[in-house]
Amino acid sequence: MSSSGHGHTPAAWTGVIISFIGFCVAGAFMVLENVPGMVAGFVLIGLGAVAGGIMHMAGMGSVPKGAASPVAAAKARPQEG
């Protein structure tokens, strides 16, 4: 499974780490019966997904299988001019 490269990108790691921290925060505040802290943890979980998505769109995520890499696509394009 590790040969597929699934999730081995800076975007994936960042999103998972932020979401994990949010999960820990929400869990701790849930036990302490502190609703605002728990909601803050939920917000962190969502921010992890957003941060990972933004980083993926910025080129720090993986290229889907079957799609040419951006570098290969640029080399394959004929030069204009």
pLDDT of residue 25: 96
3-class secondary structure for the chain? Answer: CHHHCCCCCHHHHHHHHHHHHHHHHHHHHHHCCCHHHHHHHHHHHHHHHHHHHHHHHHHHCCCCCCCCCHHHHHHHCCCCC
Q: What is the pTM of this model?
A: 0.70
Structure tokens at 5: 């490269």
| Dist CA 62 CA 48 (whole Å) | 17
Reported as a single tens digit per residue, the pLDDT across 4-51 is: 666 688 888 999 999 999 999 999 999 999 999 999 999 999 999 999
